[in-house]
Amino acid sequence: MTRIAFIGGGNMARSLIGGLLKTGFAASTITVAEPRAEARQELGRDFGVACYAENRLAAAEADVLVLAVKPQIMPAIHAELQDTLARQRPMLISIAAGVRIDQLERWFGHALPIVRCMPNTPALIGAGASGLFANRRVGPEQRAQAQHIMDAVGITRWVDDEALIDTVTGISGSGPAYFFAMVEALEDAAFAQGMPRETARALAAQTCLGAGRMLVESGEDPGVLRQRVTSPNGTTQAALESLSADHFAQIIAHAVAAATRRSGELAAALDDRP
């Protein structure tokens, strides 16, 4: 069986480990490197996986190495793993936002197969959406391995141009925050009209959940579903006309563009790191 090592035992690693165990991975095939003793104890207790304080010990026999650390930490871990990577030559899966393939190749070397992945926080409840891009050293079997790992916490989609991972960041990586902001706005609007906050929040959240399920489970185009809700000269049409007048589509486009641009800026800030 594939042996997977996680460098970093934070929330995203926990969600992936839990998802993998549910899909049939044995706990004995998963190791985790985590510097915090309390977190190591929790991971071992909750999932039955072997946990280490040192990265090299967790990665010693790994076929797949999942780099689940913050982007600014990435350059600091390659020296400790250098000998292990040269010996094992695992596939690397990086879930660090804004870290490019060429940077990973420069830091970790050894002509390794590398997959860059952008997941999102709903992966914590098994409802994630991840974009993946692979360098040319990733073969078909390894692509399948990477997809299986990320499929454990939601849906995955491959992109053929690495620059589109920044777009994935702008849509699904940052997207949950846009959704939460909309629910907040709906809640505030209802509260301003006299509705209790608890009731407003419950109705807004359930409405968004129901709409999302309709979109995913029906497979219909969102425009078609929108039209079905919109009766001529009715309440929904009045609301949509108000959104259009306030340039709703442009607001969303500008937000996605800003997040996409920032993803590239984060990567550029790491270019000078040794």
> Are residue 192 and residue 152 in the same domain, yes or no?
no
Handedness of CA 258, 260, 266, 272 (dihedral sign): negative
Q: What is the CATH number of the domain that holds 148?
A: 3.40.50.720
Q: What is the CATH number of the domain that holds 259?
A: 1.10.3730.10
What tokens were used for 236? 């929904």
Task: Please tell me the total count of domains within the chain.
Answer: 2
> Are residue 146 and residue 201 in the same domain, yes or no?
no
Report if residue 242 sits inside a domain: yes
8: left (phi over 0), alpha (psi -120 to 50) or beta: left
Residue whose structure tokens are 């596939």: 91
By the 10 Å C-beta count (0-12 exposed, 13-18 middle, 19+ buried), 173 is classed as buried
> Are residue 121 and residue 217 in the same domain, yes or no?
no
> Are residue 117 and residue 216 in the same domain, yes or no?
no
Last residue of a domain, one of 99, 128, 162: 162
> Are residue 190 and residue 128 in the same domain, yes or no?
no
Q: What is the pLDDT along the chain (274 residues), one digit of tens a residue?
A: 799 999 999 999 999 999 999 999 999 999 999 999 999 999 999 999 999 999 999 999 999 999 999 888 888 888 889 889 989 899 999 998 889 999 999 998 868 999 999 999 999 899 999 999 999 999 999 999 999 999 999 999 999 999 999 999 999 999 999 999 999 999 999 999 999 999 999 999 999 999 999 999 999 999 999 999 999 999 999 999 999 999 999 999 999 999 999 999 988 988 877 7
pLDDT score recorded for residue 209: 95
- Residue 34 in contact with residue 9, Cβ under 8 Å? yes
b/e for 27-53, b at 16 or more Cβ within 10 A?
eebbbbbbeeeebbeebbeebebbbbe
pLDDT score recorded for residue 200: 97
Nearest-5° Cα angle at 130, 127 to 136: 155
- Phi, psi at residue 182, to the nearest 5°? -65, -40
pLDDT score recorded for residue 73: 87
What tokens were used for 107? 């830091």
Helix axes 74-88, 101-108, angle to 10 degrees: 70
Report if residue 58 sits inside a domain: yes
Domain of 11, in residue numbers? 4-162
